[in-house]
Chain A
Amino acid sequence: MTKAFSSAVLDLDCEREADRIGKVLLDYLQSYRRKGFIVGLSGGIDSSVTLALCVKALGKERVFGLHMPERDSSEDTLGFSRLVADHFGVASELEDITAMLEAAGCYRRRDDAIRTVIPEYRADWKCKIVLPSAAENKGYNFFSVVARSPDGSLLKKRLPLEAYLGVVAASNFKQRIRKMLEYYHADRLNYATTGTPNRLEYDQGFFVKQGDGLADVKPIAHLYKTQVYDLAEFLDVPETIRKRPPTTDTYSLEQGQDEFYFSLPYDKMDLCLYARNHAVPAAEAAAALGMRTEQIEWVYRDIESKRRATGYLHARPQLVSAVEEVS
């Protein structure tokens, strides 16, 4: 008799997995004659686990952490990222990217795009963009901007195409400037860079091309987020970090990843993605997740839709003819 689909499918042998990842990290440095790894720290679970894996594989002397908050970052961000660096004893540096973002026009361009749908929006307002949740959504995923004025009133408007692209394009400066600084420090130290996407993010294209999507090694891109949490516990990532809900920390209003991109909390999204990848019937997945079959069918379609929509983010530069001598 086959076993019923359940969350046990994501059980991980953490020690073995950490060793396997560590070997890949070491091999990479040996192959490309680099001396260590840069890890951009957000205070979130993914970058904390990535740093812990690097430290376990190479020792704290070969890992350099970067704290890169900006004006819209949560007040807690720097405290959490420092906590992780200090806990693992790695050298780290603070690079506040606000001035660079101002110089690039990140905030001004984003606010201009928001004002095309909320004319009264001003620089002292706070904002985020959100998706409808899978539980209530029967149709397409479309983004709305949520803006809060200094007096606390909240406005929500659906973003037409031009405004949506404008907000995203401006916000993407944040991830790209962070990556630029990671490479500055990598070049300075003769290190390589790490990318911190988990499998959900990597598969579903939840990253910025040439921003957080760019890295020399992506140590946890094959792991479901649930497994990243398991590794965090195994690697002794501080409990404060492990208990934090995942956030994007990209917009000035607090924003969970599940309202920005995934439409479901990560533990359910993990299981939906696993079920989809292993051809588990929607009805069976629905029973395990406590959801309706039609909701799971909707999530399956959304998974495929995101894969199609974000294929461009994964695509390597297109050459007209292969240059085989260096490929």
Chain B
Amino acid sequence: MEKSESEVKAKLRSFVSSNFLLGKSASELGDDDSFLESGIVDSTGILEFVGFLQETWGIEVADEELLPENFDTVRNLTAFVLRKTP
């Protein structure tokens, strides 16, 4: 099933809001803000993203893909999801 960028981004933002901010809106988080540097997630949180990608889109993440270029911002994560799914 084809996904749009906005659809993926909305799902990721919703996950950040419910899972890391305990319901507080993620609206202040810019697409290019670092998850780690903003203190929203720590390295354990990255593993939560990995689980979320697997459950939501069936994406298997290889060790060498666990990079900030793929996981550290909403924009990077959205691009990664779009690359990894048909």
Task: List residues of chain A with CB under 8 Å of any chain B CB.
Answer: 132, 138-142, 158, 160-162, 164-165, 305, 308-309
Q: Are A138 and B43 in contact (CB under 8 A)?
A: no
**Complex Cα–Cα for A93 and B55 (A):** 51
B residues in contact with A132, CB < 8 Å: 63
Q: Are B44 and A140 in contact (CB under 8 A)?
A: no
B residues in contact with A309, CB < 8 Å: 42-44
Chain B positions 49 through 70: 1 when the CB is less than 8 Å from some CB of chain A, otherwise 0: 0110000000000011011100
Q: Are A140 and B51 in contact (CB under 8 A)?
A: no
**8 sample A-B contacts, Cβ–Cβ < 8 Å, listed by A number:** A139-B64, A141-B43, A142-B43, A142-B46, A142-B63, A160-B47, A161-B51, A308-B42
Tell which of A142, A162, A164, A305 touches B36, judged by Cβ atoms closer than 8 Å.
Answer: A305
Sorting the interface of chain B by its residue count into under 10, 10 to 19, 20 to 34 or 35 or more gives 10 to 19
Centre residue among B44, B47, B66, B67 by max chain A CB count within 10 A? B47
**Complex Cα–Cα for A245 and B60 (A):** 37
Is the C-beta of B48 less than 8 angstroms from some C-beta in chain A? Answer: yes
- Which residue of chain A lies nearest to B36 when distances are taken between CB atoms in the complex? A305
Is the C-beta of B39 less than 8 angstroms from some C-beta in chain A? Answer: yes
B5-31 with Cβ < 8 A to chain A: none
Q: Are B67 and A140 in contact (CB under 8 A)?
A: yes
Query: Known contacts A309-B42, A309-B43; is A139 also within 8 Å of B67 by CB?
Result: yes
A residues in contact with B42, CB < 8 Å: 305, 308-309
A residues in contact with B43, CB < 8 Å: 140-142, 305, 309
A315: min CB distance to chain B, Å:
14
Q: Are B47 and A161 in contact (CB under 8 A)?
A: yes
Query: Known contacts A305-B43, A309-B42; is A142 also within 8 Å of B66 by CB?
Result: yes
**Complex Cα–Cα for A162 and B46 (A):** 13
B64: min CB distance to chain A, Å:
8
Task: Apart from A139-B64, A140-B68, A308-B39, list 11 A-B contacts with CB within 8 A.
Answer: A139-B66, A139-B68, A140-B46, A140-B71, A142-B47, A142-B63, A161-B44, A161-B47, A161-B48, A162-B51, A305-B42
**Complex Cα–Cα for A49 and B51 (A):** 43
- Which residue of chain B lies nearest to A307 when distances are taken between CB atoms in the complex? B42
Q: Are B67 and A138 in contact (CB under 8 A)?
A: yes
B residues in contact with A158, CB < 8 Å: 63
- Which residue of chain B lies nearest to A164 when distances are taken between CB atoms in the complex? B47
- Which residue of chain A lies nearest to B62 when distances are taken between CB atoms in the complex? A158
Q: Are A160 and B66 in contact (CB under 8 A)?
A: no
B75: min CB distance to chain A, Å:
17
- A-B pairs with lowest CB-CB distance, top 10: A309-B42, A139-B67, A161-B47, A139-B66, A140-B66, A140-B46, A141-B43, A140-B43, A161-B51, A308-B42
B residues in contact with A142, CB < 8 Å: 43, 46-47, 63, 66
A residues in contact with B68, CB < 8 Å: 139-140
**Complex Cα–Cα for A249 and B52 (A):** 34
B residues in contact with A308, CB < 8 Å: 36, 39, 42
**Complex Cα–Cα for A214 and B75 (A):** 41
- Which residue of chain A lies nearest to B39 when distances are taken between CB atoms in the complex? A308
B residues in contact with A162, CB < 8 Å: 51
B residues in contact with A165, CB < 8 Å: 44
A residues in contact with B51, CB < 8 Å: 160-162
A residues in contact with B67, CB < 8 Å: 138-140
**Complex Cα–Cα for A139 and B71 (A):** 10
- Which residue of chain A lies nearest to B46 when distances are taken between CB atoms in the complex? A140
B74: min CB distance to chain A, Å:
17
